Structure 1
Amino acid sequence: MDPVTPLDTLCRIILRAREYEAQVPGNYDDDEDADEVDGEDGEALSALQDSINTSVEDELRTSLDDLAEDQQAEVLAFCWVGQGTYEAADWDEAIEEATDEVSSGGAVDELLEMPMLASVLEAGMAAFDLSCDGIGDLS
């Protein structure tokens, strides 16, 4: 399969998503010392980052917004395959539903809210023997 979205673009999205996921506020159920886990707004922060950098989210959002509609649909469909919502054999159905989601304007928000975006995008690409090996910073 040859993706509509250039492979280096997909890999750049994965890289940005990893950066974003490393700093997204987490939910802590433990009775940990609040001074150790609270951020500016009292939200617990992941162990990898001690403050929220909104520019990372802005960069990821911009990368997704800058994609053409068919490319946004493809990224969303790859993610759905990666998380098991669709099988690779059901690609046409996944693309059709993703295209509907893009048309309604909710695709970028759905992607940004998706748990483990980088991992599910990679897994979806892997289902079609696509990989970021040897591509830029991900090699």
Structure 2
Amino acid sequence: MKTLSITDTGNGGIDLALPLDKLCNIISLAREYATKTASSDPSASATEDDDIALATLEDRPADPAESELRQLIDDLSEDAQIDLVALTWLARNDRSLEDWAELRRHATEQATTPTAKYLMGLPLLSSYLTTGLAALGRDCAAELAGRA
């Protein structure tokens, strides 16, 4: 299992406790989970404002992406979950790699909600993780192509 490791001039190196294949799987499932089906309610108007339109989105019953994503995150080690949150914050808060130790420390201190519940509440989770991974100089498409 490949883990991510990069060299950072600020602290000599960042090693994520999160295997790359799991991270890529989390990104894929988060993207799928964020996609919802439009309501089949015939009274819903296509001209309603965004708030009403968002309220008409419905979750698919027993969404397999949701349960698989939750389980995958829950099964990660505590260090890997901290890295996942820090990677999200790296992109979300427009931080730099020099802030990595601070991001990890803050993620550890702020861990009051189960990690899966917190992360799955972020509608742009897959985008944040993709951007965070890019900040590490990696991307899932290149990694998958390298395995083929």
Q: 2:56 aligns with which of 44, 53, 78?
A: 44
- 1:98 maps to a residue whose letter is A
Partners of 1:14 and 1:66 in 2: CA distance: 15
- 2:130 maps to a residue whose letter is E
Identity of aligned residues (%): 32
RMSD over aligned CA atoms reads 3.1
Structure with bigger strand share is 2
Name the SS for the 1:3 alignment partner: strand
Task: Report the Cα offset of residue 24 of structure 1.
Answer: 7.1
Structure 1 gap ranges (5+): none
Partners of 1:25 and 1:73 in 2: CA distance: 34
Change (3 A) 1:23 1:74: same
Residue deviations 1:39-61 (CA, integer Å, cap 9, x gap): xxxx422xxxx861422211111
Structure 2 gap ranges (5+): 1-5, 7-14
Alignment of 1:6-45 (within 5 A): 6-23=19-36, 31-32=45-46, 43-45=55-57
Length-normalised TM-score, structure 1:
0.74
Structure number with larger C-alpha Rg: 2
Alignment of 1:99-114 (within 5 A): 99-102=108-111, 104-114=112-122
